[in-house]
């Protein structure tokens, strides 16, 4: 699915099933909450924390999709075309970081 199609699908879902968008501030708070849920799974699966009994079936993909959904809501609400924004962002990074990561000894050290 292309990003612009995802933006249209989310907009349609909001207008038909969700009734209306939450305010931008509410969606920012929801985004923060959803990112926290991703962090919880990552810290338990890849970090030193252990899962609580009720977290054993936590689905990282589902939580990442929640983050993406709310991010798309915010983009729709604020008039951001995510396809265009991502394209511009990758172009900026490609110019700015054209040699930066290649020269980073931390990334290129075989002992890391």
Q: What's the pLDDT score for residue 110?
A: 67
Direct distance between the N- and C-terminal alpha carbons of the chain, in angstroms, rounded to an integer: 36
pLDDT in tens, 47-87: 998 888 888 789 999 999 999 999 999 999 999 999 999 99
Domain boundaries, the chain: 3-80, 82-112
pLDDT band at residue 9 using 50, 70 and 90 as cut-offs: very high
Alpha helices for the chain (secondary structure H): 3-16, 24-45, 60-78, 82-96, 105-108
pLDDT band at residue 108 using 50, 70 and 90 as cut-offs: confident
Taking residues 23-33, report their average pLDDT. 98
Fold for the domain defined by 3-80: Helix Hairpins (1.10.287)
């Amino acid at each position: 699915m292309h990003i612009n199609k995802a933006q249209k699908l989310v907009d349609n879902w909001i207008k038909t099933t969700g009734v209306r968008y939450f305010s931008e501030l509410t969606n920012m708070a929801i985004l923060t909450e959803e990112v926290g849920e991703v962090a919880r799974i990552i810290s338990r699966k890849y970090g030193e924390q252990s899962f609580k009994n009720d977290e054993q079936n936590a689905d990282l993909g589902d939580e990442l999709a929640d983050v993406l959904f709310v991010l798309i809501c915010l983009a729709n609400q604020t008039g951001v075309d995510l396809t265009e924004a991502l394209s511009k962002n990758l172009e900026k990074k490609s110019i700015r970081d054209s040699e930066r990561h290649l020269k980073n000894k931390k990334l290129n050290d075989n002992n890391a």
